[in-house]
Amino acid sequence: MSDKAGVTAAVEALRAIGYYLERDRQPTHRVKAYRRAADTIEALPATEVRARKRAGTLTELPGIGPKTEAVILEAMDGAVPAYLTKLEQGAAALTEAGTAMRAALKADLHLHSDWSDGGSPIEEMARTAARLGHSYIALTDHSPRLTVANGLSRERRLQQLEVVAELNKKLADELDGFRILNGIEVDILDDGSLDCDTEILARLDVVVASVHSKLRMASEPMTERMVKAIANPHVDILGHCTGRLVTGGRGTRPESDFDAEVVFEACRQFGTAVEINSRPERLDPPRRLLSLAVETGCQFSIDTDAHAPGQLDWQPYGCERAEECGVDPSQVVNTWDADKLLEWTASS
């Protein structure tokens, strides 16, 4: 194996380990250890990595310890690292149901990259989504006001549009027509307006609107706030509508209080899809509200809200809940091909 091929194999193995750890919701520091090691050796000349392998000095590099060194050594010798094999063999199906709905999905319409609060580059997120069987994704990094999530300013958003355009040229050839749609997760402000100017929203393919602040607002103003955003012609998807957290490192958080019948009827009337958020700590909306949205006649989008590659495989959690609550695949907008979806977002 050539020096370059050996380093490439080691980088891929380290990133694959990170993927499986993320998928299994392992602590962030464990995931970062393998991704950091991959970044370290990928940035070096292959000849230097090979020389350090021979000299036994890989662990002198920043971010490489005994465990990540073992992975590098095995991969560079042409073997599948034992730890990666163990993770692959232990990667059981995440859910017992939802398989038919998951098979129908062609995309994920809510995910984040390292441009905002995600942990990986756009290209890595896209390539992972393609490996999972998607034909397109919507990149929905945060809007400016969510500074805690490194929300994109107008200038950074315009830069991202250029980056995505170049990536699409590259990936279309390499991944059989795979596409990245330009999107945003835009904050719904206190008065129901959106945290992004109209000119930018008009240039985007997919707009997910979510409440991230004042989640304990009284029911009547919260309902008005959400309906105003839903009625905005640029909004395509209502993200994680209750804002609840049911588990995870951030603790738990109760549902926001709003008139769900009014909100879902607004979604139906204005053609705004209700997101079925698949993140294990959200699973939003809860089943009783998801069933109400089905009865109301809403459309849906089953998304991961992924912030890392391994989290892109969390869609089965949302698919299982969708099937349990009687969601018809024809009402799920990301079962459509990209052209049909874009026709819908342009008209909704």
Please tell me the predicted confidence (pLDDT) of residue 3: 85
Please tell me the predicted confidence (pLDDT) of residue 78: 95
Question: Confidence band (pLDDT; 50, 70, 90) for 158?
Answer: very high
In residues, how long is the chain? 348
Q: Order across the sheet with 237-238: list the strands.
A: 107-108, 136-139, 179-187, 206-210, 237-238, 273-277, 300-303
pTM of the model: 0.94
Q: What is the pLDDT of residues 238-296, one digit of tens each?
A: 999 999 999 887 889 999 999 999 999 999 999 999 999 999 999 999 999 999 999 99
Cα-based torsion angle of the residue sequence 85, 89, 93, 96 in order, rounded to the nearest 10 degrees: -170
The predicted model gives 159-177 an average pLDDT of 96
CB burial class (10 A; 0-12, 13-18, 19+) of residue 99? middle
Please tell me the predicted confidence (pLDDT) of residue 251: 84
The predicted model gives 35-50 an average pLDDT of 96
For residue 63, pLDDT beyond 90: yes
Q: What is the pLDDT of residues 108-154, one digit of tens each?
A: 999 999 999 998 999 999 999 999 999 999 999 999 999 989 999 99
The predicted model gives 297-325 an average pLDDT of 97
Asked if residue 285 has a cis previous peptide bond (ω within 30° of 0), the answer is yes
Enter the DSSP assignment of 158: H
Report the percentage of the chain scoring pLDDT > 70: 100
For residue 1, pLDDT beyond 80: no
Please tell me the predicted confidence (pLDDT) of residue 278: 98
The predicted model gives 330-348 an average pLDDT of 95
Alpha-carbon separation of residue 211 from 17, 151, 216, 243 (angstroms): 33, 14, 11, 7
Please tell me the predicted confidence (pLDDT) of residue 213: 96
Report the percentage of the chain scoring pLDDT > 90: 95
For residue 19, pLDDT beyond 90: yes
Q: CB neighbours of 166 closer than 8 A, spacing ≥ 6?
A: none
Question: Confidence band (pLDDT; 50, 70, 90) for 302?
Answer: very high
